[in-house]
Amino acid sequence: MRSRVQKTLAEGIDVRTKMAMLAVLIATGAIVKDYVLGSALFAVVVLLSFAIGRGKTAISFSFAYLFFMALFWVTTMLPPSAAGALGSFALACRTCMPICLFAAIFATSTKIGDLTAALYGLRLPKAAVVPLVIAVRFFPTLREECSAVADAMKVRGLAPSLRNLVSKPVLMFESAVVPVMLRCAKIADELAAAAVARGIDRPGRKTSYNAPRFGWADFLSLAFLAVCCSLLVAAKVNQGIGGLL
C-alpha cells in the first residue's frame, strides 16, 4: 500500500524541506553564475534529482542545458551587434536552469493539500497561502494546455517545426499564443474555484490527511544540497579574493 501512495522519494520529502532547498538554490544561483561553477551547480541538482527518483526530468533538463551552452558558445563567434541579446538570453537561461529543474520537481511532486498544510504550519497569512497554492498548480496545468494546443496545431498542418516557423511565422505565432493566452485566464478561474470548493478559505484551524513531518530523507537531502552549495559559494568567493590579490 505504501508503494502505491508514495511513488518516489521526491513525493515523500516534506514540503518545507523542498521549499528550503529551493531557497538555497536561488541564493546560490544568484552568486554562482560563471561557466564552470554554474555547471557544477547544475550537476549537483541533477544528481539530487536522480537520488529522489526524478531522473527523467533531470535528463530532459540536461539536454536543454547543453543546448543553451552550445547556443552561448555560438554567440562568441558572432559579431557583437548580433551576439549581445542572444548571448544574454542564453546566459540567463543557463544560469536559471538548476533552479528551474528543482522548481519543476517541486511543482510535480507536491500535492496541493500537503503544500497548504506546510504553508499554514509556517504561520503564513491566508492572503499569502492562497496565491502560492494556486500558482504552484497553475504551471503544470498550463503545460498540459500547451501540449493540447501543439496537438491541435499538428491537426491543422502547423506542427511546431523550423520550416513552418520560417515559412509561416505570423500564423504560427497566432495559432500558438492566442489559444494559450485565452486558456491562461480560464485556468486561473478554474483553479481558484477548485481551491475554494476544497475549503482553502474556510475560517478556523486547517487539518491535513498527511501531517507534515521531517524524516531522514529530508535531513540527508537538505544537508547534501547545503554542503555542495556552500562549497560552490566558497569557491566563488576564493575566485574573487584571488582576482583582487
Q: 142 in a domain, yes or no?
A: yes
* pLDDT exceeds cutoff 50 at 3: no
Written as nine digits, the cell of 193 is 474555484
Q: What is the pTM of this model?
A: 0.74
Q: Quote the CA–CA distance of 212 and 205 in Å, as a whole number.
A: 15
> Cell numbers 541538482 label which residue?
45
Q: 104 in a domain, yes or no?
A: yes
Q: 146 in a domain, yes or no?
A: yes
* pLDDT exceeds cutoff 50 at 229: yes
**Domain co-membership, 172 together with 194:** yes
Q: How confident is the model at residue 207 (pLDDT cuts 50, 70, 90)?
A: low
Residue predicted with more confidence, 49 or 215: 49
**Domain co-membership, 97 together with 66:** yes
**Domain co-membership, 29 together with 104:** yes
Segments forming the whole domain that contains residue 47: 12-111+215-243
Q: Based on the structure, what is the number of domains in the chain? A: 2
Phi, psi values for residue 167, rounded to 5° = -80, -30
Predicted local confidence at residue 2, as pLDDT: 42
List, for residues 93-142, the tens digit of each pLDDT value.
Answer: 888 999 999 998 988 888 877 888 788 777 878 778 777 877 777 777 88
Q: 166 in a domain, yes or no?
A: yes
Contacts of 15 (CB under 8 A, 6+ apart): 110, 114, 115, 117, 118, 212
Q: What is the mean pLDDT of the chain?
A: 81
57 touches 104 (CB < 8 A)? yes
**Domain co-membership, 32 together with 92:** yes
* pLDDT exceeds cutoff 80 at 212: no
* pLDDT exceeds cutoff 70 at 206: no
* pLDDT exceeds cutoff 70 at 15: yes
Kindly state the percentage of the chain with pLDDT values over 90: 21
List, for residues 30-79, the tens digit of each pLDDT value.
Answer: 898 888 898 999 999 999 999 888 889 999 999 999 988 888 888 878 77
Using alpha carbons only, how large is the chain's radius of gyration in Å?
21
**Domain co-membership, 191 together with 234:** no
